[in-house]
């Protein structure tokens, strides 16, 4: 967070009152410098609902704080890869970062529990868990073990589908030996090893070129990501596996956030949570609407029998392995919403 001190504000005013416009700052108009400048970074394009809602949220925060808080939105990995942005928010170089549970698992193991394969059958289960005891458990683990915290309302990414340039995935055996890009995530890697695929962790910013140059055959993401990042330009098949529900925890640096006066903390937190709930509606609607559009762009779609894939993971010991890794308390909270998984 960048805080305008009283001294440099007076200096700015005196310069400006001499008729100079300082750095685009024109005092005496509505554009006085904000007292607190906050940086929010993410890895998705400006056109994704995440950034559409983030820009709207930034405007609301500026208006409600009467210009005291400016939230700057850095989309599309402008500030680096997920790994870079995670380091930056941990150090306080940026104030907020939206990170998927799968990638959060590299820092807080329990953070990835909502990414267990074929766990949530529908969005009723997803939001009951994420807004309920499972989400509360994850947020508690984050706050207890890092310099970060997560806002209450998790944002949405969607159900993940598999795209490839070589073959459709109709049954679990089709994954055998497939070079598949996954996010830098122990859980995602383990999931596709359970299908005997060859998962490769690649930061999101490098996925398009990895697909284009055939370093990997395929990747897996919700349709809204596949569409806004234009993966359909370098992929041929899209198999509707719905293998993982993926979200985005809106993470904040504790020390940075606590520098805000309490009234501004309330404005920022409330607007972030409200934007997250609106973004959920947008993402689900977009994901539900894109099949026809992407077929028109050349992607060949197929449905799959989820139970065949879930049974393959069971026989591979995936659920047993991750029950042990997460422990009985967290796993019990997961199954409270999903029902028995193994
Ligand atoms: O990296 C991905 O695939 C993405 C965009 O879905 C996440 O941020 C996990």
- Does the Cβ of 178 fall within 6 Å of ligand 1? no
- Does the Cβ of 246 fall within 6 Å of ligand 1? yes
Strand, helix or coil for residue 215: coil
Tokens of 211: 């697909």
Q: Going by CA atoms, what residue is nearest to atom 3 of ligand 1?
A: 183
Q: What is the pLDDT of residue 33?
A: 86
Tokens of 239: 């198999």
Q: Going by CA atoms, what residue is nearest to atom 6 of ligand 1?
A: 221
Q: Going by CA atoms, what residue is nearest to atom 9 of ligand 1?
A: 100
- Does the Cβ of 157 fall within 6 Å of ligand 1? yes
- Does the Cβ of 102 fall within 6 Å of ligand 1? yes
- Distance of alpha carbon 138 from alpha carbon 108, whole angstroms: 9
Q: What is the pLDDT of residue 24?
A: 33
Which residues are bridge partners to 74 per DSSP? 41
- Does the Cβ of 163 fall within 6 Å of ligand 1? no
Q: What is the pLDDT of residue 2?
A: 72
- Does the Cβ of 244 fall within 6 Å of ligand 1? no
Contact by Cβ (8 Å): 38, 69: yes
- 251: number of Cβ within 10 Å: 26
Of the residues 102, 106, 184, which should be mutated to test ligand 1's pocket, given the most ligand atoms within 8 Å of the CB? 102
Q: What is the pLDDT of residue 17?
A: 42
- Does the Cβ of 106 fall within 6 Å of ligand 1? no
Q: What is the pLDDT of residue 80?
A: 95
Q: Catalogue all structural domains in the chain, each as residue range(s) with its CATH number.
A: 6-338 (3.40.190.170)
Q: Which residue has the tokens 């977009």?
A: 286
Of the residues 41, 43, 85, which should be mutated to test ligand 1's pocket, given the most ligand atoms within 8 Å of the CB? 43
Tell which residue, 98, 101, 120, 125, has the closest CA to residue 112. 101
Pairing outcome for strands 245-253 and 155-159 = antiparallel
Q: What is the pLDDT of residue 15?
A: 42
Of the residues 180, 185, 186, 204, which should be mutated to test ligand 1's pocket, given the most ligand atoms within 8 Å of the CB? 204
Tokens of 79: 């500030």
Specify the ligand 1 atom closest to the Cα of 225. Answer: 5
Strands (E), the chain: 2-3, 36-41, 69-74, 96-99, 148-150, 155-159, 161-164, 179-182, 198-201, 218-221, 237-240, 245-253, 300-303
Instruction: Note down pLDDT in tens along the chain; length 342 residues.
Output: 776 555 544 544 444 444 333 333 333 334 468 999 999 999 999 999 999 999 999 999 999 999 999 999 999 999 999 999 999 999 999 999 999 999 999 999 999 999 999 999 999 999 999 999 999 999 999 999 999 999 999 999 999 999 999 999 999 999 999 999 999 999 999 999 999 999 999 999 999 999 999 999 999 999 999 999 999 999 999 999 999 999 999 999 999 999 999 999 999 999 999 999 999 999 999 999 999 999 999 999 999 999 999 999 999 999 999 999 999 999 999 999 999 998
Q: Going by CA atoms, what residue is nearest to atom 5 of ligand 1?
A: 204
Residues 6+ apart with CB under 8 A from 274: 57, 153
pTM comes to 0.90
Burial of 269 (0-12, 13-18, 19+ CB in 10 A): middle
- Helix, strand, coil abundance in the chain, percent, nearest 5: 50, 20, 30
Q: What is the pLDDT of residue 5?
A: 52
CA of 63 to the centre of ligand 1 (A): 31
Q: What is the pLDDT of residue 1?
A: 75
């Amino acid at each position: 967070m960048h805080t305008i001190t009283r001294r440099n504000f007076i200096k700015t005013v005196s310069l400006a009152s001499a008729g100079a416009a300082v750095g685009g700052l024109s005092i005496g108009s509505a554009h006085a410098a904000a007292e607190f400048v906050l940086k929010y970074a993410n890895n998705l394009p400006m056109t994704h609902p995440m950034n559409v809602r983030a820009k709207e949220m930034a405007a609301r925060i500026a208006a409600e704080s009467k210009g005291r808080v400016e939230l700057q939105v850095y989309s599309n990995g402008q500030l680096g890869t997920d790994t870079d942005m995670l380091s930056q928010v941990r150090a306080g170089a940026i104030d907020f970062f939206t990170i998927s549970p799968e990638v959060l698992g590299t820092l807080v193991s329990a953070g990835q529990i909502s990414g267990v394969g074929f766990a949530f059958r529908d969005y009723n289960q997803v939001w009951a868990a994420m807004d309920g005891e499972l989400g509360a458990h994850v947020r508690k683990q984050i706050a207890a073990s890092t310099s970060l915290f997560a806002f209450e309302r998790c944002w949405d990414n969607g159900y993940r589908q598999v795209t490839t340039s070589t073959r459709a995935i109709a049954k679990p055996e089709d994954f055998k030996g497939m070079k598949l890009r996954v996010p830098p995530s122990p859980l995602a890697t383990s999931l596709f090893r359970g299908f005997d695929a060859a998962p490769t962790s690649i930061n999101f910013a490098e996925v398009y070129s990895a697909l284009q140059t055939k370093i990997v055959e395929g990747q897996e993401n919700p349709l809204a990501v596949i569409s806004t990042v234009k993966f359909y330009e370098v992929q041929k098949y899209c198999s509707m596996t719905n293998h993982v529900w993926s979200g985005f925890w809106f993470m904040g640096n504790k020390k940075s956030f606590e520098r805000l006066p309490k009234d501004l903390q309330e404005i920022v937190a409330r607007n972030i949570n409200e934007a997250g709930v609106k973004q959920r509606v947008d993402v689900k609607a977009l994901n539900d609407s894109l099949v026809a559009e992407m077929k028109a762009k050349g992607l060949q779609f197929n449905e799959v029998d989820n139970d065949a894939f879930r049974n393959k993971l069971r026989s591979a010991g995936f659920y047993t392995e991750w029950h042990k890794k997460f422990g009985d308390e967290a796993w019990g909270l997961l199954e409270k919403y999903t029902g028995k998984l193994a």
